[in-house]
Amino acid sequence: MDEPVEQQQDVDELEQATLERDEYLDALQRLKAEFENYKKRVSRDQAEFVTRASERLVKQLLPVLDDLERALEAAAEHEEAKLEEGVALVHRSLADLLAREGLAEIDTDGAFDPHVHEALLSQPAEDAESGAVLQVLQKGYRLGDVVVRPARVIVAE
């Protein structure tokens, strides 16, 4: 039994279109599921990332805590030289650790810069230009591009 050629073509096209439709639907459903799983994993990972970042720093602080405790013991036994040595050691360890994390002191030589300095006082000064930093009351620090604390200064009037 011969079908008309045109009708046979329609059936082939229908078969083809149906096949493709089913394939795309299947791919779409699988991608949706994959995306959902990915999102769930990401929110778990992010919590872990934060924990691990703190863990890494906390671990590095343990030797600083140990050295501080040894310094305290030296203080309790009035071993002044050992105490001083201990404090210098603790300071060096902590400063090195923070420098490795990218912490850098904010420069205070020269003119007052409102982006990185905070003026707590202004004073008349004969031998300094107006707006010059006269004295640093508290050191400032930056971490990469971020000012974590401005330098607190006295400026010349």
What is the binding site for a second copy (CB under 8 A)? 4, 6-7, 10-11, 13-14, 17-18, 20-21, 24-25, 27-28, 31-32, 34-35, 38-39, 42, 45-46, 49-51, 53-55, 57-59, 61-62, 64-66, 68-69, 71-72, 75, 80, 83-84, 86-88, 90-91, 94-95, 98, 101, 103, 138-139, 141, 143-144, 146, 148-149
Contact 106, 147 (CB under 8 A): yes
Q: Length of the chain in residues, anyone?
A: 157
- Tell me whether residue 111 or residue 148 sits nearer to a second copy (CB atom): 148
- Tell me whether residue 80 or residue 157 sits nearer to a second copy (CB atom): 80
* Beta strand pairing call for 146-149 and 141-143: antiparallel
- Tell me whether residue 19 or residue 111 sits nearer to a second copy (CB atom): 19
- Tell me whether residue 117 or residue 156 sits nearer to a second copy (CB atom): 117
Output the CA angle 146-149-151, nearest 5 degrees: 115
Q: Which helix (H) or strand (E) holds 10?
A: helix 5-76
**List of residues 6+ apart from 103 with CB closer than 8 A:** 141, 142, 143, 148
